[in-house]
Structure formats: C-alpha cells, structure tokens
Chain A
Amino acid sequence: MAATNEQGLLQIATIIEQHQSLPGAMLPILHAIQDDLSFIPSNALPLIAKALNVSKAEVHGVISFYHHFRSEKPGTHVIEVCRGESCQAMGSRALEQNIKQRLAIDYHQTSKDRQYTLEPVYCLGNCACSPAMRIGDDIHGELDQQKFEQILESLNTYSLELK
C-alpha cells in the first residue's frame, strides 16, 4: 500500500472531519478520499479508524472488499472495460484481449508510462449499446478496436493540452 505526504494527510483530516458524524460514515469517507487523491493511502487508515472508533483491520477489510477502492495510485486515466454478458454478446471478449495487448497491461495493472490503469467492470448500464467502457465519468458504447483507438487518441490530445 502506498502512503501520502503531509499535504495529503491534511486533506484526509479535513474529509474525515466533514463526514465522520454521518451514520455509516465509512464509505462516504473512503469515496471522498479517493475522489481527491485518486487512491486511499495506507497512512489514512489509522486516522479513519480513530475517527470511526473501529480497528485499522476493519478499515482495511472494507477497502479490500470493494472493487472500486484502490490502495495504489493509478495511472492518469483509469479505463474500466465492461465484462458483463450483454457486452460479451457484442464481442467484448475479443475487444478486451485487444485492449490489453494495445496497452501492454492486464487488468489491475498500470502502464509503464503511468498513463493508463486497466480495470474490469461488471456492467455500466449501457447494455442497449454494448460493448461499453468507462473513463473517468464518461461512458463509451458500441466500442470496437477502431473507436477505442480514437478515444485513446483524444485522451492523449487532452492531456497534452493540459501541459
């Protein structure tokens, strides 16, 4: 598990303070931390445990139970490819192999240049236009290799503009 720096810890402390009085505050806190820092750093665990009056093991147990929560910093773009049956019916099995090859990574891995993290997802609710994937909050449908390449290209253009 990766840790964060002083600045990150300050952000985490603020998040905990904002959410800890909610009933069932654990998931809202974890979501807020991951939204801000892109992952849940290991040194956040003692702070969350203390605030919610549970053990660190319980916090770890929750983080490790849910596919969405990450303990390592992901690449710039998290690409979630749907593996659901509806997408399979539209050729996602071949597509996911091609995507893995194209990015030279398997699921749960990050590319060497730290640009992409590839994750499986089980349904994005876009099943009338399968196959689907999600990047950030954008859902893409009716994917094929060509459309995937176009989307990848647009991501690169965007990140270059930012620099």
Chain B
Amino acid sequence: MNHSPSADSSMPLAARKIYVSLDTTARSKGSDNIATQVDKILSSQPDLAATLVRNGSRGMFWLEPLLEINTAKGRVAYGPVTPKDVSDIINQQCFDDVVEHPLCLGFTEELPWFKSQQRLTFARVGIIDPIDVDDYISHGGFVGLTNALAKTPQQLVDEVKDSGLRGRGGAAFPTGIKWQTVLDEPEQQKYIVCNADEGDSGTFADRMLMEGDPLVLVEGMIIAGLSVGANQGYIYLRSEYPQAQHILNQAIKNAKAAGYLGENICGSEHSFHLEVRLGAGAYICGEETSLLESLEGKRGLVRAKPPLPAIEGLFGQPTVVNNVISLASVPYILSHGGASYRDFGMGRSRGTLPIQLAGNIAQGGLVELAFGITLNELLQQYGNGCKSKRAMRSVQVGGPLGAYLPAEQWHTALDYEEFASIGAVLGHGGIVAFDDTVDMAAQARFAMEFCEVESCGKCTPCRIGSVRGVEVIDKIISTDNDEQQRQDSVNLLHDLCDTMEFGSLCAMGGMTPFPVRSALKYFPDDFLPQPSTEKAQ
C-alpha cells in the first residue's frame, strides 16, 4: 500500500520528516544503513514528500536503530529497525496517527522510559537536527544567551550560583564559585575551556550531547565567556570521539555564520571565538590541570594546586575549566532562571543529572533525572536488570575510579553527599552493571592495571604503587601462598591503598583505591585462592 499525500492529510507537506539518528551508538547498531534505505525510498517515491533528518539519539539504545516519523499528533517510533523493514514502515505510516505495525512502539514521548525523565539539559537531544541553527532556535535555543546579553557579568555569575549547579565532571565543585574567581581576576586574556575528555568507562552523556545538541554547549560556553570576561574558548575533545568532533566542527561553523560566534556576537560589543582541540588517548587529560598542559602542547603531567586554574590556568591566564554537561546546563539556567533549576534535586545536589546505564544492562542508555532517585530504581525500572538475564551482582558508579557497590547499597539515592557517606562517588553519573559471573578480584586487579597504564607518572605512589598493586593482588589470589602469606599481602594492599590515596596529587592515584578497597570489602570471597577457573571469565 502506497501512501500518497491527499487532501485529508492534516500534516502540511513541508513538515513531513523521518528521523534516523547519527549518534555513535546508533551508528554502531546500523543506523547509517537505515538512513541510506530511507534516502533510497524517498528519492524513488517523491510523492511521499518527506525529508530525512539525522538527529541525535533519544538515548534508548536497546531500541536503536530507531526510526521516527512525525505525525500530526507527535513522533511515532519504530525499533529496532533493519533495512528491510524500512519500506514497509514508511509506506504504512500515514503521517496522521499511530498505525499497526509489529515494530511500532507508539508515540516516542509517551514511552514510559522516556516520558518519566526530567530532561532539562538533554531537552533537544534526539529531537532536533544537531547542526541546524534555525532548528535549535525554534526549540528554545539561544534564549539563555539573549537574556545573558542584557545582564552584567556579576548578575550572570549570581544566576549560576543561585542555580546550585555543581561540576558534572565528577568533582562537583560549585560552578558559580569557580566563575566568580575568574571574574574577580583583573581584566586580561581569560579562557573558557570545556573538558570533553570523557574517559570514564560507562559514561557517554558528553558524547551524546555533543552529537545530539552541540549548539547548547556552544551557547553555554558563550555565556561563560560573557560572565567572566573571556573571549576565547577551547573544547578539549578526546580523540576516541570522531563523530562528536565532526558534528561539533560543523555546529561551530554554522553558529559562526549565523553571528553567534566571532566578533560582535548578536550585534553586541562582545566577541567569542571557539575551537575544538583533540586529545590523544590519555585518560589523565580529563584531570583539569593535565588537560591544560596538553592544550599548551605538552605531556599531560598533572600540576600542583595552587595556583588554581581559575587564577593561573591556560597559558598562565585565568581559566574556567568546566565539563560538557556543566556548560550545557547553563543555557537552561539563563532561560528559565537559576531558581527553576535549583527546584530539582535533593540536599546540596541541585538540578538534574544525566545518568548513563551501561555494562551488563538490558535497557542501556541515558536517563536524565533530578538528583534523589535510588540506584535500585535505575537498575530495575529503567535498566530492567542484566542483559544476560542473570542475577546482578555488582555495579560500579562513577567510572574506573569509582567504588564497586554490592546489592545492599543499591538503596542509596543519587546525591553527591549520600554517595560520599558510603565511600563511593557519583562522578560523571555512569553506572556499569555486572552479573554474577563477575570476578571481583579481577576487577580490583584491573583498577590497578588501568592506573599503571594511565598514570602520568608525576607522583610516585601512583606510578609505582599501581604496578605493586597488580603484583600484590596476584599474590593474594595465588594458590602458591599459605594463609599467613595471603593475609600479609591483604594488609600490604590496604597499606598501599592508603599511600596512593594520601600521596598522590590528583584523583588518578588518589581514587584508584576506591574500586580496589570496595571489591575487597564487599566481595572478599572472590579474593580467595581459586584453583578452578570456574569463576574466571
């Protein structure tokens, strides 16, 4: 059955759109092949009068490749779609309402997984054409900037302080206070640096945002520039994100052409220049001082603080270094007011957190919610348990330097202070689930191994401690040692963890003990000598 536009169709022809994501994960699941197929059908059936839009992802990755068709009543979703399904779907879907189809999921925004979220920062991700400035504006883009242009720098910083926004990179330092420090420095060359070196395993919120709504990051950085008096910004992007690089560069080019970047932005006396710089595969460059060294063209060695980067940062100048999500939250704060953002959340954790469900999880993806939801709710209601359909045994929150949490701690609410109180970190909001085949001694060993590979080498406890850590864990699990020797090695490991924690300049050496100690504490049986390989994966 071929659908042809008719007089009774309530959808104007120009608005007929078919959406297929260009997000890295959607592409890894074959969305490019779907897009090619859509293109083929649209060009062979011009009477359909629809256009293909490559959008970001809605973040429901188990449903990718997702194909959406807009109707008079909202977007209808199909997924996961294979190329051979495309023709059927397009010809059956009538652009008016939901139709019967085995792959039809109904209206995208009515799907419970999506509908229950509080998407402030990700409001446009998966909805707009990421590099289309007009599409961005028609969905509320640049309202924050317009408001910002009418305010003084101090008013802008106050608004951000008022929002309660804390750095989403992991350290959770109040963004407004950081900005105040840079604003208070005398007028001189200042910089805005976006930390887009999202290296934690289990995190992809920055990537999704940069691929799905890069202009919100651009807008956030311009506002940061206005707030502290900086006219130059850099996005330090990890080289593992080629698609994000491609999209960011196009978005920056388009924003410049539309007068939002460069000299006299929006006809004002302000200027802001923005450039993407690529990292080169070094986890440590996600640490802000190491990142600055790298941007300056050096080895990414961590700097001692003080001086703070806010006072002596890039090229020795006052510099704001913020994570992608922190900066991308600013346009909302300026368009809706700091108080509106602060109304979300709990305790001292205000606003929303884009949470990433990863690892062995049935429904992996991005969930943006106000702080306060518990891990259990996320793992079960959103994640729907393990992908392997086995029992879930352990989750690691906050990346490779985050603690491993056993089931009895999953009642913990996502809140910076709640997590700190159980010796864990929320970090960048990545949650990696493991099923009951996991060997926690192997995970602890990997934490040390990762530190060995990625340590910048500046601090001895990190550089050498990590090597010793691997050796000591090997001794603990070895069947060659007697119980006394084993116990001695466990004590030595604790001692080593203390040395690393208190003797390292940054979180690399300082927090590698978190996953190690938590594995040892909550999963001690995994560290018993095991002659059989039954548990080893």
Residue of B nearest to A64 (CB): B299
> CB within 8 A of A85: which of B277, B356, B400, B537?
B400
Q: Does A123 contact B (CB under 8 A)?
A: yes
Interface residues of B in 522-537 (CB under 8 A from A): 537
Q: Does B239 contact A (CB under 8 A)?
A: yes
Q: Does A25 contact B (CB under 8 A)?
A: yes
A residues apposed to B, CB below 8 Å:
23-28, 30-31, 52, 58, 61-62, 65-69, 82, 84-91, 93-94, 121-130, 132, 134, 137-142
Chain A contact residues: over half helix, strand or loop, or mixed? mixed
Per CB-CB distance, the 3 closest pairs between chain A and chain B, nearest first, are A26-B297, A84-B201, A128-B364
List, sorted by A's number, 9 A–B pairs whose CB atoms are closer than 8 Å: A61-B299, A65-B299, A67-B281, A85-B443, A88-B443, A122-B400, A122-B450, A123-B202, A142-B29
Query: When the two chains form their complex, are residues A128 and B365 in contact, meaning their CB atoms are under 8 A apart?
Result: yes
In the docked arrangement, what's the CA distance between A28 and B27, Å?
A: 27
CB distance from B197 to the nearest CB of A (A): 11
- Residues of A with C-beta under 8 A to B456: 65
Query: When the two chains form their complex, are residues A84 and B280 in contact, meaning their CB atoms are under 8 A apart?
Result: no
Query: When the two chains form their complex, are residues A141 and B25 in contact, meaning their CB atoms are under 8 A apart?
Result: yes
In the docked arrangement, what's the CA distance between A56 and B450, Å?
A: 29
Query: When the two chains form their complex, are residues A86 and B432 in contact, meaning their CB atoms are under 8 A apart?
Result: yes
In the docked arrangement, what's the CA distance between A82 and B450, Å?
A: 12
In the docked arrangement, what's the CA distance between A66 and B434, Å?
A: 30
Query: When the two chains form their complex, are residues A128 and B537 in contact, meaning their CB atoms are under 8 A apart?
Result: no
Among A26, A125, A138, which residue has the most Cβ atoms of chain B within 10 A? A125
Among A85, A91, A130, which residue has the most Cβ atoms of chain B within 10 A? A85
Other than A27-B277, A68-B281, give 5 A-B pairs with Cβ distance below 8 A. Answer: A65-B282, A87-B201, A88-B443, A123-B199, A125-B204
User: Given A128-B25, A129-B364, A137-B242, A27–B202 Cβ distance below 8 Å?
Assistant: no
CB distance from B301 to the nearest CB of A (A): 8
Q: Does B305 contact A (CB under 8 A)?
A: no
Residue of A nearest to B295 (CB): A24
- Residues of B with C-beta under 8 A to A58: 298
In the docked arrangement, what's the CA distance between A90 and B442, Å?
A: 14
Q: Does B127 contact A (CB under 8 A)?
A: no
- Residues of A with C-beta under 8 A to B203: 123, 125, 127
> CB within 8 A of B240: which of A28, A30, A69, A123?
A123
- Residues of B with C-beta under 8 A to A62: 297-299
- Residues of B with C-beta under 8 A to A121: 240, 281
- Residues of A with C-beta under 8 A to B25: 125-126, 128-129, 139, 141
User: Given A24-B277, A68-B281, A129–B29 Cβ distance below 8 Å?
Assistant: yes
> CB within 8 A of B281: which of A66, A82, A86?
A66
Q: Does B376 contact A (CB under 8 A)?
A: no
Residue of A nearest to B394 (CB): A89
CB distance from A70 to the nearest CB of B (A): 10
In the docked arrangement, what's the CA distance between A26 and B300, Å?
A: 12
In the docked arrangement, what's the CA distance between A28 and B278, Å?
A: 7
Query: When the two chains form their complex, are residues B282 and A66 in contact, meaning their CB atoms are under 8 A apart?
Result: yes
CB distance from B52 to the nearest CB of A (A): 21
In the docked arrangement, what's the CA distance between A13 and B387, Å?
A: 51
> CB within 8 A of B358: which of A27, A91, A127?
A127
The total of interchain contacts (Cβ-Cβ below 8 angstroms) comes to 160
Query: When the two chains form their complex, are residues B295 and A85 in contact, meaning their CB atoms are under 8 A apart?
Result: no
Query: When the two chains form their complex, are residues A27 and B432 in contact, meaning their CB atoms are under 8 A apart?
Result: no
User: Given A67-B280, A139-B27, A130–B358 Cβ distance below 8 Å?
Assistant: yes
- Residues of A with C-beta under 8 A to B61: 128-129
Interface residues of B in 489-529 (CB under 8 A from A): none
CB distance from A115 to the nearest CB of B (A): 21
Q: Does B221 contact A (CB under 8 A)?
A: no
CB distance from A95 to the nearest CB of B (A): 10
Interface residues of B in 296-314 (CB under 8 A from A): 296-300
- Residues of A with C-beta under 8 A to B446: 85, 88
Query: When the two chains form their complex, are residues A123 and B297 in contact, meaning their CB atoms are under 8 A apart?
Result: no
Query: When the two chains form their complex, are residues B297 and A65 in contact, meaning their CB atoms are under 8 A apart?
Result: no
Among B281, B360, B456, which residue has the most Cβ atoms of chain A within 10 A? B281
- Residues of B with C-beta under 8 A to A93: 442, 537
Query: When the two chains form their complex, are residues B359 and A94 in contact, meaning their CB atoms are under 8 A apart?
Result: no
User: Given A30-B280, A126-B25, A52–B297 Cβ distance below 8 Å?
Assistant: yes
In the docked arrangement, what's the CA distance between A141 and B446, Å?
A: 22
Query: When the two chains form their complex, are residues A140 and B202 in contact, meaning their CB atoms are under 8 A apart?
Result: no
In the docked arrangement, what's the CA distance between A67 and B356, Å?
A: 26
Query: When the two chains form their complex, are residues A129 and B28 in contact, meaning their CB atoms are under 8 A apart?
Result: yes
Q: Does B24 contact A (CB under 8 A)?
A: yes
Q: Does B266 contact A (CB under 8 A)?
A: no
Residue of A nearest to B399 (CB): A85
Residue of B nearest to A122 (CB): B283
Query: When the two chains form their complex, are residues B297 and A127 in contact, meaning their CB atoms are under 8 A apart?
Result: no
Query: When the two chains form their complex, are residues B300 and A65 in contact, meaning their CB atoms are under 8 A apart?
Result: yes
- Residues of A with C-beta under 8 A to B294: 27
Query: When the two chains form their complex, are residues A25 and B297 in contact, meaning their CB atoms are under 8 A apart?
Result: yes
CB distance from A119 to the nearest CB of B (A): 9
CB distance from A51 to the nearest CB of B (A): 12
- Residues of A with C-beta under 8 A to B360: 89-90
Query: When the two chains form their complex, are residues A126 and B278 in contact, meaning their CB atoms are under 8 A apart?
Result: no
> CB within 8 A of B356: which of A23, A128, A140?
A128
Q: Does B435 contact A (CB under 8 A)?
A: yes
- Residues of A with C-beta under 8 A to B242: 137
Query: When the two chains form their complex, are residues A127 and B202 in contact, meaning their CB atoms are under 8 A apart?
Result: yes
CB distance from A121 to the nearest CB of B (A): 6
Interface residues of B in 230-285 (CB under 8 A from A): 239-243, 277-283
> CB within 8 A of B280: which of A66, A86, A127, A139?
A66
Query: When the two chains form their complex, are residues B204 and A128 in contact, meaning their CB atoms are under 8 A apart?
Result: yes
Query: When the two chains form their complex, are residues A127 and B298 in contact, meaning their CB atoms are under 8 A apart?
Result: no
In the docked arrangement, what's the CA distance between A52 and B235, Å?
A: 22
CB distance from A67 to the nearest CB of B (A): 4
Residue of B nearest to A140 (CB): B28
In the docked arrangement, what's the CA distance between A139 and B244, Å?
A: 12
Among A65, A141, A142, which residue has the most Cβ atoms of chain B within 10 A? A65
Q: Does B207 contact A (CB under 8 A)?
A: yes
Query: When the two chains form their complex, are residues A126 and B298 in contact, meaning their CB atoms are under 8 A apart?
Result: no
Residue of B nearest to A91 (CB): B537
CB distance from B113 to the nearest CB of A (A): 13
